[in-house]
Structure 1
Amino acid sequence: MSELLLKDKLRELRTRMHLTQSKVGQYLNMTRQGYAHYEAGLRNPDYHTLLKLSKLYQVDIGDLINNQTTPIIHETLHENVDYTIKPGNLKPNNTPSRVIQLTSDEKKLFNLYSKLSSAEKKELLATLELKVNETKKNNK
Structure 2
Amino acid sequence: MILINTYNNLKIKIEEALINKIGEIAIQHFPNEIGGFLIGKYSNNHSLVEIEDIILPNKYKNSPTMFQRSANDLSEEFKKEFNKNQRFYIGEWHSHPNASTMYSSMDLKAMIETVNSPTVMITNPILLIISTNNSKINNYTFYCLSENKLHKYE
Q: Same fold (TM over 0.5)?
A: no
What is the TM-score normalised by the length of structure 2? 0.25
Higher helix share: 1
Higher strand share: 2
Could you say which structure has the greater relative contact order, defined with CA pairs below 8 angstroms and 6 or more residues apart?
Answer: 2
